Chain A
């Protein structure tokens, strides 16, 4: 099957999702990514919709994380990284030369695979993103920290220990703290790179619940390998294989009636 066919398929399938906002938040056009000579992504085209949860799945090395990190330009510091094509967020080209990368990242937050709190207090972790913008107003910072911690349902657990080191928290708490830290900057998009893969099942469930709440306000893009558990909260799913976008459809369709053989094989566990 040719690439154009795949594109046609994708367009067709998206119309099947009724309950989703049709506002395009992120638009990727003809994305090619190279690491030196290696071509990591081949001609990726896709739209990501506002206030949805969109998942990237695929075997490791398929390019899903690479694409995710293109969306907030985290790849900029990697030696030999080169990208062709355009990515638009809210109709603005994010790779345009006058874009201030730091401003972009305030708008597009990121949560990582392993919880990575700063070796500082819980409070300082959440306040960091606000402070580096030059905000000095103590009361404002305190309110924002409280709000963010409440959003991730961590406030009740830590409100008496805000001065405590963040590294003393459990893994699940750390990850929720990292999400709170991201929310405190007030992004509109949140990228998540396998956020639950390092966590136990109970912590994972808590984070999934959280995602369900967050998607009301944010556009969430998540790289995951834990499809069966998260199927209930993920609206759209994209399958990548060997640097190519193979199939993009509603999660339900991907799981119940994938159009591509490769997708089918992956979902049923025939390779991966």
Chain B
């Protein structure tokens, strides 16, 4: 075999490996989802959505869990969206280059890499104990807000960076103040990118389990939360609780709850991708 044919053989072999590797992850994901579908689909019903937790698997439902997840979704968005976008605007438009902006940047990169469970410890000490919020929805949302803040900040900055400088200059040249230029031109032009980042980060917050366990979300909550100060549970914690039980009935419940959780996650990711594509198509500079 000549050198050239040998090289081409290696090339072809690697090509095969590449396709296999790319498909591997996706096939595994499909197997997993298929498995869960087979386990859980029979359990999905309005009854399951409307029932409170119970010691008997066939009677147990996820009413408290999904309402808790909705609460967390709403409260976390309310807190993290303005804070994250505000910080992103500050860093991109106001912060002067220097030691302060350097520190802020290193700091945010670092926060993005802090494990979520550490945020749980932070929330436990600051929100639950020092601020006296207890294991409430508010404490949980604050904790998750801090967790996703770096993601929102980074995507806000990226989105703002993508707006051509000439737009800002045009606004200034017409007598706009800095904030007028940001509010009326830069933010509308970057909103698609910002929203994409926000939705992705919120979808991550909804899937989080560990920090909420540490903060004190409960596995068993017999009532639907009515105010941000109520105790709560969320879908991932309910799933975690059921997975750890030996009875097969609870495993089926867990699978059914996972189907709900995955639907929420995928729908949110879908919206984010749709927004990103639409925004990219609409605006061509």
- Which A residues contact B (CB, under 8 angstroms)? 72, 74, 77, 79, 102-103, 105-106, 109-110, 112, 114, 116-120, 128-129, 132-133, 167, 178, 181-182, 185
Are A132 and B174 CB-contacts (below 8 A) given A118-B185, A119-B189, A119-B283?
yes
Least Cβ distance of A9 to chain B in Å? 33
Partner of A106, one of B169, B174, B285: B174
Bound complex: CA of A185 vs CA of B97, how far in Å? 33
Q: In the complex the two chains form, is B284's CB within 8 Å of A167's CB?
A: yes
Q: In the complex the two chains form, is A105's CB within 8 Å of B175's CB?
A: yes
Bound complex: CA of A117 vs CA of B164, how far in Å? 11
The interface residues of chain B lying within 8 Å CB-to-CB of A128 are 171, 174, 176, 184
Bound complex: CA of A77 vs CA of B171, how far in Å? 13
Partner of A118, one of B167, B175, B180: B167
Q: In the complex the two chains form, is A185's CB within 8 Å of B284's CB?
A: no
Question: What does the 1/0 interface line of B158-180 toward A look like (CB < 8 Å)?
Answer: 00000010110111111111001
Bound complex: CA of A7 vs CA of B229, how far in Å? 76
The interface residues of chain A lying within 8 Å CB-to-CB of B283 are 119, 167
The interface residues of chain A lying within 8 Å CB-to-CB of B170 are 112, 116-118, 178, 181
Q: In the complex the two chains form, is B174's CB within 8 Å of A79's CB?
A: no
Bound complex: CA of A185 vs CA of B169, how far in Å? 15
Q: In the complex the two chains form, is B169's CB within 8 Å of A102's CB?
A: no
Q: In the complex the two chains form, is A132's CB within 8 Å of B166's CB?
A: no
Residue picked from B96, B97, B169, B189, most chain A C-beta under 10 Å: B169
Bound complex: CA of A133 vs CA of B188, how far in Å? 19
Contact sample, A vs B, 26 pairs, CB 8 Å cutoff? A74-B169, A74-B172, A74-B173, A79-B97, A106-B175, A112-B166, A112-B169, A116-B169, A116-B170, A117-B170, A118-B171, A118-B185, A118-B189, A119-B167, A119-B188, A119-B189, A120-B188, A128-B171, A128-B184, A129-B174, A132-B174, A132-B177, A132-B184, A167-B284, A167-B285, A181-B174
Q: In the complex the two chains form, is B173's CB within 8 Å of A182's CB?
A: yes
Q: In the complex the two chains form, is B169's CB within 8 Å of A182's CB?
A: no
Bound complex: CA of A221 vs CA of B167, how far in Å? 21
Bound complex: CA of A132 vs CA of B97, how far in Å? 29
Least Cβ distance of A183 to chain B in Å? 11
Q: In the complex the two chains form, is A72's CB within 8 Å of B171's CB?
A: no
Interface residue ranges of B225-244 to A (CB < 8 Å): none
A-B pairs, top 4 by smallest CB distance, nearest first, are: A116-B166, A110-B173, A129-B174, A106-B175
The interface residues of chain A lying within 8 Å CB-to-CB of B185 are 118
Q: In the complex the two chains form, is B167's CB within 8 Å of A116's CB?
A: yes
Partner of B175, one of A79, A103, A117: A103
Least Cβ distance of A82 to chain B in Å? 14
Are A72 and B174 CB-contacts (below 8 A) given A116-B166, A119-B283, A132-B184?
no
Least Cβ distance of A104 to chain B in Å? 8
Least Cβ distance of B186 to chain A in Å? 10
Instruction: For the A-B complex with A74-B173, A128-B171 known, give 7 more contacts whose Cβ atoms are closer than 8 Å.
Output: A103-B175, A105-B175, A106-B175, A114-B166, A116-B164, A132-B177, A167-B283
The interface residues of chain A lying within 8 Å CB-to-CB of B173 are 72, 74, 105, 109-110, 112, 182
Bound complex: CA of A110 vs CA of B173, how far in Å? 6
Bound complex: CA of A129 vs CA of B188, how far in Å? 17
Least Cβ distance of A105 to chain B in Å? 4
Q: In the complex the two chains form, is B177's CB within 8 Å of A102's CB?
A: yes
